[in-house]
């Protein structure tokens, strides 16, 4: 699976491939080894380059070494167990000629681990666990706190709940969690941050729609849309539906939700059904207005546009290694096209909320500023929650960008 990511495939696709094979390895073990290795991908690659005297032409062998180094550094297993099982794995993978090499490299690491850091310190990918271009882009955009952003991107993500205000008061649900021994604290109108992540099956009322799992940063959307009863609202890139559901929980609006992907749209429908919510769903590319719009304008539009997802990279540790610097201008072009199209469907005096889960200004401030500059009836207005437009990832939430744009009558 890690070798697949190194060759350009997404980890989600690799999990689907393994699921189709009905592998017996527990999913939790796969998540630990794949996510753990990819969170340290720059480091484990640098260690192998430092200790190896041969070219790594075999991608599966290289991935075995990377995973083994993660296992050794995790401290969760005895050193001799990791080395022994890595050598045995070499046999299972039919890498018989490499068994001695695997054993020698891992034992060299154990002997020299104290000096390894000094030997790879000059490599930014090994130090910061992000691609070099990513490190340089953040250093340029956030000279005061770029290292903190990178550090947050390597952490385990927080688990935040959104309490369905149509079914429960947040204080009552917090007390219900406490009665079950689950520690949570309120960090927003509907948001409870768990002390530690749990399977959703452990959360009382989940199947009944009392709550959803949604990052606190993502929960800003419903607040920042400036909703009111009876408004016509469009969620233009809606799946998997967390923001759509929160909009419907917040106000009695007429919601239309679009997504171009049929499987993701089906997931959105299931989420709304669990929460006993209703919306008008359509599979469509939001930029192709003739395919889905009947000409009646919307009072509010949520444009949660496709982006690099750099603000949620810690949830998808393969993502930062799959992205390339040239992806940013490509995303910006797509984002601009979405804004230009959706603006036509917005009513005079209406408001459009532009959202990304990115921390790169090229997808955020620069896109919005360029749009307002070329659109005569567009003006930026303050966000209703009074917070900054750019949220950077930290211990409580992921990285999100929000900009509210009003259409002058």
pLDDT for position 60: 95
Is 357 assigned a catalytic role?
yes
| % of the chain at pLDDT higher than 70 | 100
The answer to whether 301 touches 221, Cβ cutoff 8 Å, is no
Q: What is the DSSP code string of 148-190?
A: HHHHHHHSPPP-EEEE-TTT--HHHHHHHHHHTT--EEE-SSS
Say if residue 143 is exposed, middle or buried (CB neighbours under 10 Å; 0-12, 13-18, 19+): exposed
Q: Who's near 10: CB < 8 A, 6+ residues apart?
A: 318, 319, 322
Q: Quickly state the pLDDT bin for 22 (edges 50, 70, 90).
A: confident
How many whole angstroms separate alpha carbon 44 and alpha carbon 227? 48
Say if residue 113 is exposed, middle or buried (CB neighbours under 10 Å; 0-12, 13-18, 19+): middle
As given in the structure block, the two tokens for residue 267 are 């997931």
Residue count of the chain: 409
* Sequence-ordered alpha helix ranges (H) in 213-292: 220-224, 242-250, 262-274
- The torsion angle over the Cα atoms of residues 90, 96, 100 and 102, rounded to 10 degrees, is -20
Distances (CA, A) of 50 to 44, 67, 128, 241, 339: 10, 16, 17, 45, 47
How many whole angstroms separate alpha carbon 72 and alpha carbon 174? 39
Over residues 303-361, the pLDDT tens digits come to 999 999 999 999 999 999 999 999 999 999 999 999 999 999 999 999 999 999 999 99
Over residues 101-129, the pLDDT tens digits come to 999 999 999 999 989 999 999 999 999 99
> How much is the average pLDDT of 238-253?
97
Average per-residue pLDDT for the chain: 95
Instruction: Decide if pLDDT at 23 tops 90.
Output: no
Q: Quickly state the pLDDT bin for 25 (edges 50, 70, 90).
A: confident
How many whole angstroms separate alpha carbon 328 and alpha carbon 344? 25
Q: Which one from 160, 237, 307, 357 is the annotated catalytic residue?
A: 357
Over residues 28-74, the pLDDT tens digits come to 889 999 999 999 999 999 999 999 977 777 999 999 999 999 999 99
> How much is the average pLDDT of 383-396?
97
Range in 8-17, 78-87, 273-282 with the lowest mean pLDDT:
8-17
Domains along the chain with CATH numbers? 2-124 (1.10.940.10), 159-214 (3.30.70.1170), 216-407 (3.40.50.150)
Instruction: Decide if pLDDT at 397 tops 90.
Output: yes
As given in the structure block, the two tokens for residue 385 are 């929650």
pLDDT for position 26: 85
């Amino acid at each position: 699976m890690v070798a697949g990511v190194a060759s350009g495939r997404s980890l989600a696709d690799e999990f689907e491939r393994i699921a189709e094979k009905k592998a017996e390895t527990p999913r939790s073990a796969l998540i630990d080894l794949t996510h753990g290795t990819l969170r340290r991908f720059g480091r484990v690659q640098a260690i192998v380059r430092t200790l190896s005297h041969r070219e790594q032409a075999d991608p599966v062998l290289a991935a075995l070494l990377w995973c083994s180094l993660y296992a050794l550094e995790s401290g969760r297993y005895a050193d001799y167990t990791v080395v022994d099982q890595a050598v045995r794995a070499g046999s299972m993978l039919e890498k018989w000629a490499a068994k001695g090499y695997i054993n020698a490299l891992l034992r060299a690491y154990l002997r020299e681990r104290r000096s390894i850091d000094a030997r790879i310190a000059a490599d930014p990918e090994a130090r910061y666990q992000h691609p070099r271009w990513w490190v340089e882009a953040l250093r340029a955009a956030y000279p005061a706190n770029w290292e903190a952003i990178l550090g947050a991107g390597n952490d385990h993500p927080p688990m935040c709940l959104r309490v369905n205000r149509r079914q429960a008061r947040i204080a009552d649900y917090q007390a219900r969690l406490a009665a079950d021994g689950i520690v949570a604290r309120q960090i927003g109108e509907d948001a409870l941050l768990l002390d530690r992540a749990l399977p959703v099956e452990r959360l009382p009322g989940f199947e009944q729609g009392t709550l959803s799992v949604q990052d606190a940063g993502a929960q800003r959307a419903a607040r920042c849309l400036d909703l009111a009863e009876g408004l016509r609202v469009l969620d233009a890139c809606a799946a998997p539906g967390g923001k759509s559901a929160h909009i419907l929980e917040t106000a009695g609006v007429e919601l239309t939700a679009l997504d171009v992907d049929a499987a993701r749209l089906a997931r959105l429908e299931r989420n709304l059904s669990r929460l006993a919510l209703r919306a008008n769903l359509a599979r469509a590319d939001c930029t192709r207005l003739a395919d889905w719009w009947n000409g009646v304008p919307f009072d509010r539009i949520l444009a949660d546009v496709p982006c690099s997802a750099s603000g949620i990279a810690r949830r998808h540790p393969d993502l930062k290694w799959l992205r390339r610097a040239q992806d940013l201008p490509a995303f910006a072009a797509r984002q601009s096209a979405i804004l230009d199209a959706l603006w036509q469907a917005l009513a005079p005096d209406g408001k459009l909320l532009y959202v990304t889960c990115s921390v790169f200004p090229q997808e955020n401030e620069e896109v919005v500023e360029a749009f307002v500059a070329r659109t005569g009836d567009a003006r930026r207005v303050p966000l209703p929650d009074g917070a900054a437009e750019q949220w950077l990832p930290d211990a409580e939430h992921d990285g999100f960008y929000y900009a509210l744009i009003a259409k002058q009558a």
